[in-house]
Amino acid sequence: MKKTLVSALALGVAAGVGSQVMANPHNQHAEKSRSDLVEYFKAKHPERPFEDYIHGIYGYNAERKSQWEMQEEFPPYQDHVDQGKALFEKDIAAYQNCLVNADKGVNKIRTSYPYFNDKTQKVVTLEGDINRCRTEAGLKAFGWKRGDLAKVSGYLAYAARGEKINVVINSEGAKKAFEAGEREFAEPRGQLGLACASCHVYNASRQARSDILSPVLGHTTHFPVWRGKWNDLGTLHRRYEGCHKNMRHEAFKVQGDEYRNLEFFSAYMSNGLEVNGPSYRQ
């Protein structure tokens, strides 16, 4: 029965991309990795539903979840979301025919990213495209990691709440980008010899000093995030940079190939989960 349930879950979360998986040889490795990850967490925490992984550590600790739910009643990021909406609408002409699926509604933009651009042979992120659209329209690019970029990205995430992640791998270039991101996630790095997987797969749900280690499953659904440590809204790549510094590993350039590939991998692993950003994290 348990094996049947796990198999059904793996098939269920692939809904929406399943036909592409069967017909597309480029994502066979990626889909096997994603299915294995879902099964791993299901076996590790069989009481936790797949869809609950959008809540990160709050699915592991009832007290932390209660504190988070109180934060969400009057979220500290709400003003930033409102400011992001105003910034987006101010320059709507720059974004409307530039951001993917903007013509289909503001709620469709966030889940169109990240994607692999076969012309440039690079992963494209939402934050990267926001600044590309701005510069191509003759506007000044936002600073990376925080500030106005995080506000606009936060607004687009908020507008997309309930929409599901659906990253597609349909070319050899996309396959290689996924595999590069997977290596970055899985290989030990820095002076401490840690991998992203050390914390976010093998030790997810465990205590690290006063913190609980979050699962990679669902990682990208809630970004950008308002961190209590930052007292600010920040992007996913800002978090990558901070993690690498904590690992005593030289951080890569924000929005460089390494972090974009890592985001591509992480987002694909969360296919089928709902966007619930921005969110509060410790």
- Give the Cα separation of 234 and 108 in Å (integer): 21
Q: Is 243 a catalytic residue?
A: yes
Marked catalytic residue, from 133, 196, 199, 243: 243
- Give the Cα separation of 161 and 221 in Å (integer): 9
Helices and strands, number each (H, E), in the chain: 12, 7
CB-based contact 31:14 (threshold 8 Å): yes
- Sign, Cα dihedral of 247, 249, 255, 256: negative
Residue 67 parent element (H or E): helix 62-73
Q: How many CB atoms lie within 10 A of CB 171?
A: 16
Helix (H, G, I), strand (E, B) or coil at 140: coil
Distances (CA, A) of 236 to 14, 126, 173: 24, 11, 23
In the chain the first and final C-alpha atoms are separated, in Å, by 38
Amino acid code (one letter) for 10: A
- Give the Cα separation of 64 and 82 in Å (integer): 26
- Give the Cα separation of 7 and 5 in Å (integer): 5
Output DSSP code: residue 201: I
Catalytic residue numbers, as ranges:
243
